[in-house]
Structure 1
Amino acid sequence: MIEAAGTRPLLPSLGALAAFEAAARHGSFTRAAEELALTQGAVSRQVAGLEAQIGVKLFERVRQRVALTPAGAAYAAEVRGALRTLTGATLNVMAFRGAGGVLNLAILPTFGTRWLIPRLPRFTEAHPNVTINFATRVRPFDFAREGHDAAIHFGGPSWPGAKLHRLMGEEIVPVASPAIVARHRLAEPADVLGVPLLQQATRPRAWEQWLTEAGLDPARATPGPRFEQFAMVAQAAMAGLGLAIVPRFLVEEELRSGALVMPFDRPSRSEEAYWLVYPEEKAALPAVSAFRDWLLAETAGSALSPPAGDPAGAPS
Structure 2
Amino acid sequence: MFAHRRYLPSTPALLAFEAVARLGSATDAALELSLTQSAVSRQLKTLEEQIDAKLFVRQGRALVLTPAGRRYAEQVRDVLHRLGSASVTAGANPEGGALNLAILPAFGMHWLAPRLADFARAHPEVTVNLSTRLAPFDFRSQPFDAAIHFGRRDWPGAGYQPLMPETVVAVAAPGNVPEGADVAEIARLPLLHLDTRPRAWARWCAAHAVPAPTAPGMVFDQFSTMAQAAIHGLGIALLPTFVAAPHLESGALVPAAGGAGQSIGDYYLVWPEERPAPPSLRSFRAWLSTQLPGA
TM-score (norm 2): 0.75
Offset of residue 132 of structure 1 = 1.8
Alignment of structure 1 residues 112-261 onto 2, 5 Å: 112-181=108-177, 184-185=178-179, 187-218=181-212, 220-261=213-254
Aligned to 1:88: 85
**Number of aligned positions between the proteins:** 265
Offset of residue 130 of structure 1 = 1.3
Offset of residue 228 of structure 1 = 0.9
1:180-202 residue CA offsets vs partner (Å, 9 max, x unmatched): 12xx4462111113311111111
Aligned to 1:28: 34
RMSD: 3.6
SS in structure 2 of the partner of residue 270 of structure 1: strand
| Separation of aligned partners in 1, 2:132 and 2:234 | 26
Aligned to 2:287: 294
Q: Is the 8 A contact 2:186 2:257 kept in 1?
A: no
Report % sequence identity: 44
1:45-74 residue CA offsets vs partner (Å, 9 max, x unmatched): 965641552599xxxxxxxxxxxx8549xx
SS in structure 2 of the partner of residue 223 of structure 1: coil
Offset of residue 265 of structure 1 = 5.1
Gaps of at least 5 residues in structure 1 are 1-6, 30-42, 57-68, 309-316
Offset of residue 272 of structure 1 = 2.0
Aligned to 1:101: 97
Amino acid at match of 1:88: S
Amino acid at match of 2:203: Q
Offset of residue 147 of structure 1 = 3.1
| Separation of aligned partners in 2, 1:51 and 1:140 | 33
Q: Given the superposition, is the C-alpha separation of residues 28 and 21 from structure 1 closer, same or farther in structure 2, using an over 3 Å criterion?
A: farther
Offset of residue 87 of structure 1 = 2.5
Amino acid at match of 2:112: L
Gaps of at least 5 residues in structure 2 are 20-28, 55-60
Q: Is the 8 A contact 1:197 1:221 kept in 2?
A: no
Offset of residue 171 of structure 1 = 1.8
Offset of residue 158 of structure 1 = 3.4
SS in structure 2 of the partner of residue 264 of structure 1: strand
Give the greater-gyration-radius structure (CA): 1
| Separation of aligned partners in 2, 1:122 and 1:255 | 25
Q: Is the 8 A contact 1:168 1:275 kept in 2?
A: yes
Alignment of structure 1 residues 4-83 onto 2, 5 Å: 12-17=9-14, 24=30, 28-29=34-35, 47=40, 49-53=42-46, 54=48, 71=63, 82-83=79-80
Q: Given the superposition, is the C-alpha separation of residues 215 and 158 from structure 1 closer, same or farther in structure 2, using an over 3 Å criterion?
A: same
SS in structure 1 of the partner of residue 284 of structure 2: helix
TM-score (norm 1): 0.71
SS in structure 2 of the partner of residue 179 of structure 1: coil
Aligned to 2:26: none
Aligned to 1:311: none
Amino acid at match of 1:200: L
Offset of residue 92 of structure 1 = 7.7
Q: Given the superposition, is the C-alpha separation of residues 134 and 197 from structure 1 closer, same or farther in structure 2, using an over 3 Å criterion?
A: same
